């Protein structure tokens, strides 16, 4: 897979980094001794929630703003100096970044080093990434299910608005279809093993894409964020027992909205919503409000009643890769798995 990209366009802007003590020591790791060939990945998180990433080489840097990429040569190799071009400045020693002239301004952006592109994608909040070759392309699912396409080794960038996934359980596929001014995208993702045609890397999903009529094939996988919020968590076990199938194919699931401290989901029959409090690994739910549809199929009524009881007693959670576990007095009582295509 081609890692370094030399075809991105420099777009005039201002990227200023102000002096200051980084909130995390990792924000400065790697700036002073940059590998001339292998990229050093950094993700900047701003106080207003905006994020952007950068790759720093020995003699150049690329700043990825989502809809555009800025390529910066190193201005002063002798002293370590900075990366600079077209009014864009990125000091090599790290610090707090501030973006001006590239849309809305963003201040107090702390840089954190990532070990590889997938770790950088996780820090960026990307939940699923599809990749393909010849020419190299990627599609990222970002928060609010927007689709970000990068084609021709990064030379083409299109940000598509949120797309509602259409599931076909019989085919084991999920389809995203979205049209915007002058652009169209259809992406079909199937849950099946897939191997990258160049690197041989193994993936969990195969992907077929049509972008503006051009057909592409590749592979993809979900990216665990390690966060409670922003993920569709599907319930698979309660007290060690498999969860019964819901009515009309409905799944039992839960979602957390960190901005509003609210939670919502389904028991497999009725929808519910309410509030929650989380600090560290502790978790408490407020009173949940539920719809009142009768659950007459199989054991759904008993399952729903037990669901309500356990949720009212949950006091801790743990996340490991794609799995979320609820605990009551140190006993695991509910097990969820992440679905990154929801």
Q: Would you say residue 1 lies in a domain?
A: no
Q: Would you say residue 323 lies in a domain?
A: yes
Tokens of 95: 């610090």
DSSP state, residue 143: G
Q: Would you say residue 227 lies in a domain?
A: no
Q: Would you say residue 106 lies in a domain?
A: yes
> Once rounded to an integer, what is the mean pLDDT over residues 176-193?
93
Last residue of a domain, one of 222, 240, 261: 222
Q: Are residues 92 and 189 in the same domain?
A: no
- In our burial notation (b when 16+ CB lie closer than 10 A, e otherwise), range 303-335 reads bbebbeebbeebebbebeebebebbbeeeebbb
30 contacts: CB under 8 Å, gap ≥ 6: 40, 42, 56, 113
Indicate if the pLDDT at residue 41 is higher than 50: yes
Indicate if the pLDDT at residue 275 is higher than 70: yes
Question: What is the rounded CA–CA span in Å between residue 86 and residue 328?
Answer: 57
Task: Collapse the DSSP code of 118 into the 3-class scheme (helix H, G, I; strand E, B; otherwise coil) and give the result.
Answer: helix
- In our burial notation (b when 16+ CB lie closer than 10 A, e otherwise), range 144-162 reads ebebbbbbebbeebbbbee
In the prediction, which pLDDT does 139 show? 95
Q: Report the 10 Å Cβ neighbour count for 221.
A: 18
Indicate if the pLDDT at residue 17 is higher than 80: no
Last residue of a domain, one of 200, 222, 244: 222
In the prediction, which pLDDT does 20 show? 29
Taking CA atoms, 174 is separated from 15, 147, 168, 260, 335, in Å, by 39, 14, 6, 29, 23
State the residue range of the domain holding 153. 128-222
Last residue of a domain, one of 123, 147, 172: 123
> Once rounded to an integer, what is the mean pLDDT over residues 44-65?
84
Question: What is the rounded CA–CA span in Å between residue 91 and residue 35?
Answer: 16
Q: Are residues 245 and 269 in the same domain?
A: yes
Higher pLDDT, 110 or 233: 233
Rg (CA), the chain: 22
DSSP state, residue 243: P
Q: Are residues 22 and 113 in the same domain?
A: yes
Q: Which of these ranges, 25-39, 250-264, 275-289, has the smallest mean pLDDT?
A: 25-39
pLDDT in tens, 119-176: 999 888 899 999 999 889 999 998 677 899 999 888 888 989 988 889 888 888 999 9
In the prediction, which pLDDT does 214 show? 92
> Once rounded to an integer, what is the mean pLDDT over residues 5-30?
33
Q: Are residues 281 and 302 in the same domain?
A: yes
Give how many domains the chain has, as a whole number: 3
In the prediction, which pLDDT does 333 show? 97
Indicate if the pLDDT at residue 26 is higher than 50: no
In the prediction, which pLDDT does 111 show? 80
Q: Would you say residue 6 lies in a domain?
A: no
Instruction: Of 22, 49, 214, 244, give the one whose Cα is nearest residue 137.
Output: 214
Higher pLDDT, 197 or 262: 262
Q: Residue 294 belongs to a domain with what CATH number?
A: 2.40.128.270
Tokens of 182: 């002058």
Indicate if the pLDDT at residue 42 is higher than 90: no
Q: Are residues 172 and 96 in the same domain?
A: no
> Once rounded to an integer, what is the mean pLDDT over residues 218-243?
91
Question: What is the rounded CA–CA span in Å between residue 218 and residue 325?
Answer: 32
Query: Within a 13 Å sphere around the CA of 250, how many CA atoms are in the beta-carbon half?
Result: 18
pLDDT in tens, 328-339: 999 999 999 999
Q: Would you say residue 190 lies in a domain?
A: yes
pLDDT in tens, 62-102: 888 877 888 878 876 555 567 776 656 666 655 566 776 66
Q: Would you say residue 279 lies in a domain?
A: yes
CB 89 within 8 A of CB 82: yes
pLDDT band for position 10 (50/70/90)? very low
pLDDT band for position 325 (50/70/90)? very high
Q: Are residues 40 and 59 in the same domain?
A: yes
Q: Are residues 115 and 24 in the same domain?
A: yes
Q: Are residues 143 and 107 in the same domain?
A: no
Q: Are residues 217 and 133 in the same domain?
A: yes
> Once rounded to an integer, what is the mean pLDDT over residues 202-227?
93
What percent of the chain has a predicted confidence (pLDDT) above 70?
80
The residues facing 91 across adjacent strands are 82
In the prediction, which pLDDT does 48 show? 87
pLDDT band for position 32 (50/70/90)? very low
* Region for residue 298 given its phi and psi (left: phi exceeds 0; alpha: psi -120 to 50; beta: otherwise): left
Higher pLDDT, 31 or 275: 275
CB 340 within 8 A of CB 127: yes
- In our burial notation (b when 16+ CB lie closer than 10 A, e otherwise), range 76-96 reads eeeeeebbbbeebbbbbebbb
Q: Are residues 71 and 108 in the same domain?
A: yes
Q: Are residues 236 and 216 in the same domain?
A: no
DSSP state, residue 34: -
In the prediction, which pLDDT does 341 show? 87
Q: What is the pTM of this model?
A: 0.74
Instruction: Of 288, 303, 289, 290, give the one whose Cα is nearest residue 334.
Output: 303
Q: Would you say residue 198 lies in a domain?
A: yes
11 contacts: CB under 8 Å, gap ≥ 6: 68, 70, 86, 102
């Amino acid at each position: 897979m081609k890692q370094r990209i030399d075809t991105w366009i420099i777009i005039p802007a201002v990227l200023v980094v102000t002096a200051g003590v980084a909130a995390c020591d990792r924000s400065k790791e790697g700036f002073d001794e940059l590998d001339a060939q292998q990229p050093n990945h950094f993700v900047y998180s701003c106080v207003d929630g905006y994020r952007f990433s950068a790759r720093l080489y020995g003699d150049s840097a690329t700043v990825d703003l989502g809809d555009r990429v800025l390529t910066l040569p190193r201005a002063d190799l002798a002293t370590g100096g900075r990366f600079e071009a077209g009014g864009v400045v990125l000091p090599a020693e790290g610090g707090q970044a501030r973006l001006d002239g590239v849309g809305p301004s963003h201040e107090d952006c702390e840089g954190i080093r990532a070990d590889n592109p997938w770790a950088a994608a996780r820090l960026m909040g990307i939940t699923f990434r599809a990749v393909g070759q010849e020419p190299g392309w990627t599609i990222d699912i970002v928060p609010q299910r927007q689709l970000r396409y990068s084609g021709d080794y990064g030379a083409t960038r299109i940000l598509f608005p949120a797309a509602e996934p259409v599931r076909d359980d019989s085919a084991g596929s999920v389809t995203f279809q979205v049209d915007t001014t002058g652009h169209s995208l259809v992406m079909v993702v199937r849950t099946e093993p897939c191997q990258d045609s160049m690197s041989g890397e193994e993936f969990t999903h195969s992907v077929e894409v049509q972008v503006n009529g051009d057909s592409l094939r590749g592979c993809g996988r979900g990216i665990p964020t390690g966060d409670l919020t922003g993920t569709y968590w599907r319930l698979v076990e309660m007290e060690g027992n498999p969860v019964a199938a819901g009515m009309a194919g409905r799944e039992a699931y839960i979602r957390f909205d960190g901005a509003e401290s609210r939670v919502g989901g389904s028991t497999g029959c009725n929808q519910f919503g309410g509030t929650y409090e989380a600090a560290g690994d502790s978790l408490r739910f407020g009173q949940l409000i539920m719809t009142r549809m009768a659950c007459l199929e199989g054991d759904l009524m008993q399952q729903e009643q037990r669901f309500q009881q356990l949720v009212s007693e949950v006091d801790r959670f743990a996340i490991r890769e794609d799995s979320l576990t609820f605990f009551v007095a140190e006993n695991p009582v509910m097990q969820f798995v992440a679905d990154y295509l929801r």
